[in-house]
Structures are given as C-alpha cells and as structure tokens.
Structure 1
Amino acid sequence: MRRLGIDTGHELVVYLNKDSPICRSEGFGAHSRLELRVGTQRVLATLNIVQDGLLGADEAGLSESAWLALQPGPDERVIIAHPPSVDSLASVRAKIYGRELDGPALHGIIQDIVGNRYSSIEMAAFITAAGGDRLSLGEVVALTKAMVQTGAQLRWRQPLVVDKHCIGGLAGNRTTPIVVAIAAELGLTIPKTSSRAITSAAGTADTMAMLAPVDLDEAQIRRVVETCGGCIAWGGAMNLAPADERLIRIERALDIDSAGQLVASVLSKKIAAGSTHVVIDVPVGPTAKVRDHAEAESLAALLQQVAAAFGLQLRVLLSDGSQPVGRGIGPALEAHDVLAVLRNEPHAPPDLRAHALAIAAAVLELAGVAGADASLAMATTCLETGRAWQRFQSICAAQGGMRTPGKAAYQQAVPAAQPGRVTAIDNRRLSRVAKLAGAPAAPLAGLTLDAHLGETVAAGQALFTLHAQSPGELAYAMEYVSRHPCIVCVEASA
C-alpha cells in the first residue's frame, strides 16, 4: 500500500494501476466498490484507475481517509476482494418505484449506510427516492427509529432534559448559545448537540467553534453538563444518529432537504441525545426553507406526530423568516452577534435578542418552569442582569476555554443604487454570497446586513458588507452580487 496524500473527504478511495492483475482477474473497473482487508481491519472503498506510472502493478494507493481507516504498518499488504452484497439496495430500488418501506427495510438501509456499505451515488439514490412527500408517516417514524438505533444513545439521571432546534433556511438566527445559557442558568438541563452547516453559511457548531471547542466526546459532554447544566457541542463527534451526518453530506451536495428526512434528522438526534422536551423553531418566509404558513403547519403536524410516537414533548414555534435574524452571516460574524446580545451591548441586534428570548421562554414554559408571560420575564431578567453571560462563559471554560472570534482582512460594502425603502431581502442569495466569500470553510468570511426590511436608505448607503479572508474570494462573491442586483431590494422613493 502507498499513502498518496489525496484528500477525498469522507469518501474512502483506493487507486490501482490500469494494468493491475487484480483488475483483470476480478473485473474491477473505475468506481467499483472493493473490500480492503488489513489484519482485522475491513473497509469498503471506491476504486479509481490510474493511467500513468504513478503506481506499480502490485501497488494499491490509498486516499487519506482510507489510509486513516486502515492504519497499516510499514510495508503491510492489503487483501482486495469483492464486497459482500448489499441486500438493502433492493429496498432503495423498491422505493424508487414508489413502494412503501416497512421498519426492517429502512433499518437495513440505515444500518448499511452507517456501516459504510453505500457509495455516495447509492446514498444519493435513497435521498432522492425518499424526497419530496414520498415518505408516509409510518416511514418517517421507522426512519427516525432506525437512525436512533444505529448510533449511540445518551441517558441522563435528570428526568427532564430540554433542547431547542431551528430547522434552518434562514441566514443568521444564531439563538442557540443565548438560549442554552439562559435555560442552564435557570436550572434546566440542556445538553445541546448541533450540526455543522448543511446548505447555509454557518451552522450552530461552526459559530460556537469560534467561541469554544465543540468536538467533545460523551465523557466530556457529561462533565460539562454536570458542571454547567448545559453545553453546545458538535453532534458528529458523538456518534448520535451517525447516518444523519453521512446523509447530510449528500444532501449538502444536492442542496435538498425534504420534510420527511428533515423530521427524521432532527428528531433522531434529539431522541438519541436523551431529550424529553424540545422546542422547534420554524422560520417562514418567501425565501426561507419553509415558504408559507400552509407548508409550515404541515411540517409542524408531522413533527408533532413523529415526536408523539417516541413520547417526546414537543412545541413548534412559527417565526418570521422574511429576512435574516441578526446582522452577521458566517461563523465569526454570527459569533460577534451572540456575544453582543449576551453582554447586553448597545449595538446588539435587537431582532436576535428578541427571538432568542422568545425561544428561551418557550423552553421554560414547555418544561413547566412558569407560564408564558412569567417565562418571558424570567428569561429577560436572566439576560439583562448578566447571569446568562456568566453562565455562557462558564460553559465555554468547561468545554476547553473561551475564544475571541477574529475579523476578516478584506471587506467591501454593497451600496444602494438609489434612495428608497427596503422592500425585500433574498435569504437564499444572501447565504449564497456569504458562501462565495468563503464561509463556513473560511470562518471569518461572510457578510453583515446593514439594512433591514422597512428601513429607508440613501443612495450609496451600504445594504450589506462582504467579509473575506482573501482578495480572490472577495472578488468571487462580488461578481455574483453584480449579476444579482436585487438581493436586497430597494423601492425608489416617490
């Protein structure tokens, strides 16, 4: 075996010479799935064929992910064979043709995905076949159960464990760190596990990573929660519903997130994390993930039905998704917003503050701490007196030490072409611009929103400001902006 140093992401790849006798004798071709065995280690990898003299006929090149999975010793040899047949692919084909799948069929699919027996193409086929409204309620429940059962599950000594989640699709909206700090300070247990970005410019874990370490294992999470009452960690390091992380990678590439899969994704992680009471934020707006209230009500009903099947207490909040929440879009910029709210700074985004307080109040109310009005008053007092800020600092310290988010070296404002009133903001295109500027891979990149719906702006006044870590990324994002002049629409003054 040879370590080629090729980064193929999470895809395990093996490289063989086109003249390799193994390819000739076994009929292996490009993109074949192969089983690699080194001692007791076995992995499945996708074959790429090398045409030139990079590899000898008796050599197998490994991508970084394959090398790290096998961890071979010096000069160790690998046994290459056809992989065992993947029987669950028959269920995927059945779903493609419209058949409803039962619990064992869905469990088999998820078990094989977790076992790395599906290629990216096969996972894409399953996601597409189950997309849209093609999953029945029974299938969503079975899919959720399979995703829970094929990973680790946390159990807590506390009988009541709260959580919150936003379904996404709205730029900014980084309420989680604020809500966790308030809920934990007011005596609730809230072990929050969050995702990296899927189709957005930042996920909660990306933003929290600018403030403290998030790659915590189970023992570390238990220690933080025991000490502070809550945490904000990346769920991928925990092996909670591990199929979800694999499917999310494909969904990110396809840029799709259907209702049934969304519900299974969200609730499987909450159930696996040991939550008993969960508040789900569903932003609704013309350019949000959920476009109108009819779609939102349908999604809320599905969330409630699936949660009830697992005995999970759930409340769904429909919120305003017509524009971003907060000013920053991108990991560091959203972290700056979070800090401003927690510190009660004068320039803190008022919409982020208000939305975080509303969610925190819903968590308190669902947990039976107090009624609606009293819960909002409690959450507000906790924030205004600095208690939430102190709790947040304690959580960061327990997770490995608080960090200060930096700022990008390159910035450029996008001005209004005419005076008038802001009448529309395209959430999707704003997120697209932030990603073209480098977010979330470049954590200081993204944009700040300088004008909000209903505000009056002068000609030349900044509508939003791009932040990039390199001039090339800044130019790349600006080129997109030049082709889409109505990302923030200004209606001319009469």
Structure 2
Amino acid sequence: MRGAGLPRRSDPGVRPPAVLHARRLGIDTSGEHVAYLRADCAVCRSEGFGTRARIALRCGARDLVATVNVVLSALLEEGEVGLSETAWAALGVLPGQAVELAHADSPHSLAAVRAKLLGARLGAQAAAAIVGDICAGRYADIDTAAFIAACAGRRMDLAEATGLTRAMSAAGQQLHWNRPVVVDKHCVGGLPGNRTTLLVVPIVAACGLLIPKTSSRAITSPAGSADVMETLAPVALDLAMMKAVVEREGGCIAWGGAVSLSPADDRLIRVERPLGLDSEGLLVASVLSKKIAAGASHVLIDIPVGPTAKVRSAQAAARLAARLAGVGAALGLSVATLASDGAQPVGRGIGPALEARDVLAVLQGDPAAPADLRQRALLLAAMVLEMGGKAGPGQGLALAESVLAGGAAWRKFQAICAAQGGMRTPPQARYTEVLAAAHGGRVLAIDNGRVAQLAKLAGAPAAPAAGLELHVRLGSAVDAGQALLTVHAESPGELAYAIAYAQSQAQLVRIGRPGSPGAGRSARI
C-alpha cells in the first residue's frame, strides 16, 4: 500500500524499515487492526512508536495500517510484535515471520472530516476519498468516529447523502442481473422480532420476481436477519454462490458481510453503534448503497414508528422517507417506504432460534403462528409485488396471501435453504425461566429497548438459542401470577443475569392496575 508509510525496498537513500517477528496474541479487537509492542522494544523506542500511534506493517506482498498498544508486561519477547486477530488474518502472517514496521502516513481525506466537523459541506470527491481510506483500513477507529460525529443528526443534506451513497456503493463488489426489475426490501430496525425478510423473500420469489436479499448480523440487537436465517441454513455465501442461488431460486437470504457489497458500511456500523449517534445521512447511505451494489431497481423500506423504536414520531418517519426516496431517485433507484407500527415487538420470539421458529410457524400455516408477524410480512410482500409489476394496484395482498396459504412460499423457502447449503433445525436453549405478572391489570406498554437488552443479557445472538418469548401483547388482560415472558439461555449464569435485569426493570412490561392508569412492578419470578 504505497503511501501508508512503508518505503519501497528499491528506493535509494531511504533507511530500511524496522523488522520484528510476528506473534499471534489471540485478542479480539472487534475488527480494529492493533499491533502490540513492548515498551522497552528497541524499535518502539527508536521509532517513537507510542500508544495509539498508527504504524504501517508489511509481510511479503501484504500490508496494512494498525494502531499501536504498548505492552508493559512480559506478554511479548524482545524482538516480537503482537497482532490482534483481525490484523493477523489481514496480514496473512505465520508465527515468527518477519514483519516490517514504519510510521503510517496520515490520510489526506482526514482534512475533509475536520472541515465537516467545523460545518463545511462534504463534496462528492471528499466523500469518495473518505470511503476509500476507510475501506483500505487507513482510518483508526477514532478517525472513523470523528467522521460519524461530523455526519450526526441532520448535518448532511440531500446532495451530501447522495454523494456518500454513490461512493459507498462503488467501493465494493457489484452484482448485475439480466432483468429489468430486481426488487429488495429493508427495515431500518429498532423493533425486536420483526423478522419479515424470511417471509417476504420466499413469497416474492415464488411469484417470479428476483429478490437478492443480503442481511446484516446483529450489532447491538438480539438478532439480525442473517443470524436468524443462519439457524435454518448457511448465510456466509460468496458472490459466486449468491448469484447461483438467486439465478436458481429467484431469491436468497445471505449475510451481506460475506459478499462485501458495501465494505465501508461494515466498518462504519462497527464504530457507529456503540457511539449511539443517529444520523439520517449515514443511515440512508448504509441502506441504499447495499441495495444499489446488489443490483436492485426497486426497494421497499419498512420504517417502524413507536415511542421506544428507532424512529419515534410520524414527522421523523416522513423526513427519513423523503430522504430515502430523494437519494434513491438521484441514483436511479425506485424507493417506496412504509411507516409501520413500532409500538411493541413483533411475534413471540426474540433471539435467532426463537425468531426462526416464529417464521417457520407462519410459513407452515400453523394456526398458533404469530398473527402480527404474518400480517406485517403479507403487507410488505404485497407492496413489493405491486412495485415489481406482479400485481396491480391493490391486488398484491390477495396474491401474497394465496402464495402463503397455498404452501408455495414454504416450498420456495425450503428450496432457497437447500440451495444455500441445506436446511437445518433451530437449536433449543438448555435453560428457561418464566417471569410472571406481580399483579393483575392490562398491558399498557412493552419497551422495545428493554426487551432487546433482556434477550442480549440471556446470550443472544452469540448463543443462537438464547433470548425470550413474549406471552402478552399491548392491551392484554393479565392476572397476578400469569406468565409475561419466558427467558431462554444456554448457561445458568446468563439466565440468572438476565432474570436479575428483568426484575429491576419496572417498565419492561408495564401493567396498569384495574381502575388505575398507573402500574406497579412489571414482573416477578
């Protein structure tokens, strides 16, 4: 990587780079490339490498930029450089192999980030340069965080969001289909259990439309669509396999990270979510860049709206919908949006395997399947079918219902699973515990954020069988001692941790006492 700081070996009069021997430390740095150096290392001292410094590393034909962490213990031997798991994999190094080190040049695009922080507009060329440096690994996490902060809130106008979307979609691999109409759908998130993708894709594909769906893994939620699908079939498809599945079955449900359609988005999300910053511009670029790279011509975006959802008001939903449609139109993508009910979780299961069981129940026509999940999926599928020209205006719902009720969607889902590597049975948790109502009354509110947090504390999504089942809905009448939810976990410790959290959250499931608008403790064991 010329410009990262490492000189060419043939450059005359240039001091050769320092050399240390690689050691794999087995440290997960959540995707950031980190190099570990002893404080008393001669190279560290002579080159002035300190904590948080950026250094260029080269091994053979591969190179990368990493952040330095200084080791004060005997973790490393003299003459060694330790590497995080992501740095080790990216550099392709073997234990003890020689690694060249040099100071990394500061990316020129950081000037545009600093200017944006100070209120300047982000031009299309600057956006492309920033995206290129992020994809190349030249940005430290703190640099990426600065860019996210510069774009936070509503600090990006339509032209800026369009330029960033174009740059992000062009940075990765591109899919092209020999079809005039290629459809897709997406949900902006914030609603636990809203696993409509696994229903919409087989319904739409069974009707003859092409729907190459890539989905995300969970970042801060208890399950992403890719996590749920992975309990039923493989999702880590490469580009060639994804194309083969779609050409054979008309659709797929694959993990987007494996096909690298928008690599900058993966890096931005990794840093953005822990910051808790909401940016319309980045959200629009994230969603639409992946759809454009996947070759879609028509996209439906689900925007759940509710007091504890990601989008809290009808005004905010309308503003986001206008931004999505505007950027899409500027880039040749037809975008439709649906502001849906986000007042409570969807379905019963929260967590990969539990959500997968809800999906299977709907596909198989189980009378006990969650009615809300079924209806949301049918509505979204109907809109996609009408967008794609398979149904006339107002006729999509009847077509979607017939495909689901007649079993064609279930058969198509099985075929997609088989094409992706084979269908499997979702796992079941070893430990469960029921939380019951402390008193009778009516369910007044269910907090989406607290429900998601409870499922994560139980082990989801890392433990696919973990999570929770909801037994009540908004407006449900409950008696004292009636089950509100069941927590599922893979270990007694995680179960106890989750239960303790649930008992401390009075607003998790808020129940009004008869004759009173208030509520007491939400749950007890």
Identify the residue that residue 16 of structure 2 maps to in structure 1.
Answer: none
Does the 8 Å CA contact 1:16/1:57 hold for their aligned counterparts? no
Q: Distance in 2 between matches of 1:130 and 1:72?
A: 36
SS at match of 1:78: strand
Find the partner of 1:86 among 107, 110, 118: 107
> Is 1:345 aligned to 2:366, yes or no?
yes
- Which moved further from structure 2: 271-280 or 368-377? 368-377
Determine if the alignment matches structure 1 residue 313 to structure 2 residue 334.
yes
Matches within 5 A, 1:157-196: 157-196=178-217
Query: Does residue 15 of structure 1 match 2:48?
Result: no
The CA deviation at 1:167 is 0.5
Contact 2:300/2:384 (<8 A) preserved: yes
Corresponding residue of 1:232: 253
Describe the superposition over 1:400-458 as per-residue Cα deviations: whole angstroms up to 9, x where unpaired.
Answer: 00010011111111211111111111111111111111111111111111100111111
Q: So what's the TM-score if we normalise by structure 2? A: 0.92
Is 1:465 matched with 2:481? no
Tell me how far 1:152 sits from its aligned partner. 0.9
Give 1:5 deviation, angstroms: 2.3
Q: Which amino acid in structure 1 is aligned with residue 434 of structure 2?
A: A
SS of alignment partner, residue 247 of structure 2: helix
Which residue is 1:212 aligned to? 233
Q: How many Å separate the matches in 1 of 2:233 and 2:363?
A: 15
- Post-superposition offset of 1:55: 2.1
Measure the CA separation in 2 of the matches of 1:66 and 1:298.
Answer: 40
Structure 2 unmatched runs, 5+? 1-21, 516-525
Check if 1:374 corresponds to 2:395: yes
| Residue among 31, 52, 56 paired with 2:73 | 52
Matched, 1:416 2:426: no
- Residue equivalent to 1:155: 176
- Decide which of 318, 339, 362 is 1:297's aligned counterpart: 318
- Equivalent residue number for residue 132 of structure 1: 153
What one-letter code is carried by the residue in structure 2 that aligns with 1:32? Answer: A
Q: Do the aligned residues in 1 keep the contact of 2:24 with 2:95 (CA within 8 Å)?
A: no
Structure-1 residue corresponding to 2:345: 324
Aligned to 1:253: 274
Partner of 1:489: 510
SS at match of 1:60: strand
Give me the whole-angstrom Cα distance separating, in 1, the residues matched to 2:27 and 2:192: 33
Question: What is the match of residue 433 of structure 1?
Answer: 454
How well do the aligned residues superpose, as a CA RMSD in angstroms? Answer: 1.1
Amino acid at match of 1:159: P
Give the CA deviation at 1:56. 2.9
Displacement, 1:306?
A: 0.5
Partner deviation per Cα, 1:235-264 (whole Å, 9 max, x = no partner)? 111111100001111122223332111111
* CA–CA distance in structure 1, aligned partners of residues 95 and 382 of structure 2: 58
Letter in 2 for 1:180: V
Task: Tell me how far 1:73 sits from its aligned partner.
Answer: 4.2
Give the deviation of 1:7 after TM superposition: 2.5
Letter in 1 for 2:233: A
Following TM superposition, by how much is the alpha carbon of 1:91 offset from its aligned partner in structure 2, in angstroms? Answer: 1.0
State how many pairs are aligned.
494
Partners of 1:73 and 1:353 lie apart in 2 by: 51
Q: CA deviation at 1:12?
A: 1.5
CA separation of 1:402 and 1:16: change in aligned 2, threshold 3 A: same
Give the Cα–Cα distance (whole angstroms) in 2 for the partners of residues 188 and 346 of structure 1.
Answer: 28
Contact 2:153 2:277 in 1 (8 A): no
Separation of aligned partners in 2, 1:16 and 1:318: 51
What secondary structure sits across from 2:204 in the alignment?
A: helix
Alignment check: 8 A CA contact 2:487 2:495 kept: yes
Distance across 1 between alignment mates of 2:283 and 2:191: 15
Is contact 2:444–2:511 with CA below 8 Å preserved after alignment? yes
Q: Secondary structure at the match of 1:205?
A: helix
1:402 & 1:155 partners in 2: Cα distance? Answer: 27
Distance change >3 Å, CA 255–CA 435, structure 1 → 2: farther
Mapped contact 1:198–1:251 kept (Cα < 8 A): no
Q: Tell me the residue number matched to 1:108.
A: 129
Q: Displacement, 1:163? A: 0.4
Query: In the alignment, residue 83 of structure 1 is paired with which amino acid?
Result: A
2:144 aligned to which of 123, 135, 142? 123
Which has the higher mean CA deviation after the structures are superposed, 398-407 or 71-80?
A: 71-80
Aligned sequence identity (%): 58
State which of 145, 150, 154 in structure 1 corresponds to 2:166: 145
> TM-score normalised to the size of structure 1?
0.98
The alpha carbon displacement at 1:10 in A equals 1.2
SS in 2 for 1:358: helix
Q: How far 1:74 sits from its partner (Å)?
A: 5.6
**After the TM superposition, which of the residue ranges 251-260 and 380-389 deviates more from structure 2?**
251-260
Return 330-339 or 193-202, whichever deviates more: 193-202
Equivalent of 1:285, from 306, 310, 313? 306
Partner of 2:9: none
1:199 and 1:255 in contact (8 A); partners too: no
SS of 1:118 mapped into structure 2: coil
The amino acid of 1:106's aligned partner reads A
Structure 1 CA distance, aligned partners of 2:95 and 2:345?
Answer: 53
The 5-angstrom pairing of residues 262-273 of structure 1 reads 262-273=283-294
Give the 4+ runs in structure 1 shifted more than 6 A: none
Bigger shift: residues 281-290 or 363-372? 363-372
Q: Which amino acid aligns with 1:45?
A: A
Q: 3-state SS of the aligned residue for 1:466?
A: strand
Secondary structure of the corresponding residue to residue 395 of structure 2: helix
Structure 1 counterpart SS, 2:139: coil
Distance 2:117 2:465 in 1: 41
Letter in 2 for 1:435: K
Q: CA deviation at 1:57?
A: 2.9
CA–CA distance in structure 1, aligned partners of residues 483 and 275 of structure 2: 33
Which AA in structure 2 matches 1:164?
K
The letter for the 2-side match of 1:353 is R
Query: 1:445 is matched by which residue type in structure 2?
Result: A
